[in-house]
Structure 1
């Protein structure tokens, strides 16, 4: 039953909580305090120390919720509900928070220009990187969603593809989601690029291997490694950003730029309902969706234009 209780949260969350609980226990051991059940004043002192060390508000928040989790799963009195502890968390948010620097938004024209540069290439590494870029842009994928894709998760139809996302950040119960992407008419068509990549790499649509794997270059030859291992985030980010910098050298870009860019491009266009936009991006609330979208200057000006002044 204890193991089942631990599985009430995602593995990544549990791993993060374990780390923060370990640090809190070390703090308590150093000062001769009892770690659990912990006294509220000791928790407040620990958060105060983190603030004095200029830890970011996200670190302080993670420690706060890790201590809460530790007491909840052991059915102990929760010290984080104490008013002083809560005030220390609020203090961290006010004094140690850093302004969010969101990535710049790409336009579809950027991707068309990028794909035009490699319109005749058969280099598997280039095609792999371009395919990831286009899928993230067209399907609003996070990197972990596209990196987890296997060949059998993609189904080709006459004028679109259907991609099965087995798990995502918003899919907490791992029910899976189907995302459809229409076939385009430019060199940046994600369906055509995916077909080019799979054909050149020798990937079968019924294979259970990862779609995007590490590749090796030997002289003029380039091929995917046979080991069923997905591409690491650090390597993927390096490849994706280097390609995007070819057409947008002055922009602040990252892997998450593509999800925000695709969503912004659709939101600023006409004719797509909010419901379909939310479903395509797998957002559960308007608040989550709106945080990704950057309104165009034309959309923003339309507010004051309606005043007819």
Structure 2
């Protein structure tokens, strides 16, 4: 197997004549042109390409690469993993390494592009998305856990569901909410989302959630949760954390820890769904965001407000969350005057 090589040891990087500080700055700023997770994936995928090249007999030149060898490598990955994601990752990593090094990019070749498209078609699998949670299911959860209860675990799951649904929250946005991110007003609350999947420049965004005064009102449930959890208004802690049972008081309290884990949050939601007689296999944590988005779209909320509320950057991403109801779909043929 070949050595592990960083993308910045290739092409012109190996021959740049400058001070160590300038070179380090160049590398640092180029790294930051991608998100941390994307750069890690590119580096791993590029090194996997190098190791494959060294494993061939005779050894294949990994850099600069030929379009023929890159095509053979993509075919190899497609056969080995049968995964669109794995092939895409390799393609974009090799392409980026050549671009950043100022070297002719083999991934621009029609041959490589054709092989990539073929691998995508052959590896494509039907996507089975989880169903959106409806307001009726939310009502059942709140009736079961939130109405008349003073139990911290019960109020916590009710609050998590209502906030995620009403603010179109991704899981990471929900669990990273801190008390300092929440501002209550007379008729609404504001959630400051400091870090989001689509916020690549980390400018943050505010999501407004209206006070409805219903049993399923996120505003009221959040206030109740903060009170029962004993989270002070001037606290800077994560509001959704793991719980500990205090035998002395006979009550639950929040642990002094980081945010709730994905696996635990998913378990809590699925248990709640099962307890109200819903088939939990059809749903996941993303079903709350999808459910809120679907309800808003079917209610005729404008695209501009819809995208802003959900922090989507494109129409394609936004539309992927919406499950139109039959009435909305019928409106197309009903408008044809036949």
- TM norm structure 1: 0.93
Alpha-carbon distance in 2 for matches of 1:127, 1:18: 43
Q: State whether structure 2 residue 152 is matched by structure 1 residue 124.
A: yes
Residue aligned with 1:245, SS: helix
Alpha-carbon distance in 1 for matches of 2:103, 2:234: 50
Q: How does 1:50-199 map to 2 (within 5 A)?
A: 50-118=77-145, 119-199=147-227
Q: State whether structure 2 residue 234 is matched by structure 1 residue 206.
A: yes
1:20 equivalent in structure 2? 45
Unaligned stretches of 5+ residues in structure 1: none
Contact between 1:149 and 1:165, CA under 8 Å: does it hold in 2?
A: yes
Contact between 2:144 and 2:276, CA under 8 Å: does it hold in 1?
A: no
1:282 equivalent in structure 2? 311
2:287 equivalent in structure 1? 257
Give the count of matched residue pairs: 307
Alpha-carbon distance in 2 for matches of 1:298, 1:83: 45
Alpha-carbon distance in 1 for matches of 2:108, 2:41: 21
TM superposition shift of 1:218: 4.8
- For the aligned residues, what is the CA RMSD? 1.7
Contact between 1:131 and 1:197, CA under 8 Å: does it hold in 2?
A: yes
TM superposition shift of 1:198: 1.0
- TM norm structure 2: 0.86
Alpha-carbon distance in 2 for matches of 1:128, 1:177: 24
Alpha-carbon distance in 1 for matches of 2:152, 2:51: 49
TM superposition shift of 1:95: 0.5
Greater gyration radius = 2
2:15 equivalent in structure 1? none
The farther-off stretch of 13-22 and 92-101 is 13-22
Q: State whether structure 2 residue 268 is matched by structure 1 residue 239.
A: yes
TM superposition shift of 1:248: 5.6
Unaligned stretches of 5+ residues in structure 2: 1-24
